[in-house]
Structure 1
Amino acid sequence: MAKPKEKEPVDIVHQNAIHVETIMKELRTQKLYTEFNINPSKKLHVLTDKPMSNITYRREEEDPAFLQAVHGARLEPAKKYSHPQTEAQEIGWISTPLEDHVSRFELLKRQMEEKEERQIQDIHIS
């Protein structure tokens, strides 16, 4: 069998030279961008600063089309569309209410009034 070769001891000076050469190559190709440009075709929406900040900014006018789009996106699907868009939305999709919503109190009140009317009619008949 062949004898395995012994590893040569690590030459720290040689390793450091390789490391310095690698860093110099990276620095040559690195390009530092110091200017920040905003895309002129997109509208910029500025976020508020920290609450305790002393810096005040001038008030920008609101874009009504943007606000309408945001509020429209937050609506539930039944309010956005007239019919379901997916099969999952078809389950439980009711485009128009089947009957008017009546609270329990209103229902009991109506039943009591009907009962009283029947009692009054029974008294007048007999």
Structure 2
Amino acid sequence: MAAKGREKEPVDEVHQTQIMCEVIRKELRTQKLYTHYHVNPNRKGYTITRKPMSWHDNIEEPADAKFLNIIHYAAQGPKKKYSEPQTESQEIGWDSDPLVPSERWDRRVNFFRHYMDITKYMAEFWRMKARESSD
């Protein structure tokens, strides 16, 4: 750290150029050229509005099977597309099936609220006390 009385050192142009070259080398190392392009399934196929009175525009075109397959594949859930999670975020909840089947009658794992005479009395007591304090 510089002392309070000292001025900043002047910028060394050679050092700045070396830093910039290192940054560019690191960026080029991580970049990947993407050459495989495909149709965006979320965008409509036609971007230009058709003429309303043109007879050749009103003829129905056959459905493109490849495009429909892309659309249907994109609409599927991740568990149907992939056999295992693709990201760490997908790992949470990927296996959402319960480990033990839920059985409502099993008292070992289901603890329902039981009202005995004393609990009914105290519930009514606190209800009346809350009414008195609000009046």
TM, length-normalised to structure 1:
0.34
Q: Quick check: which has more Rg, 1 or 2? A: 1
Bigger share in helix:
1
TM, length-normalised to structure 2:
0.32
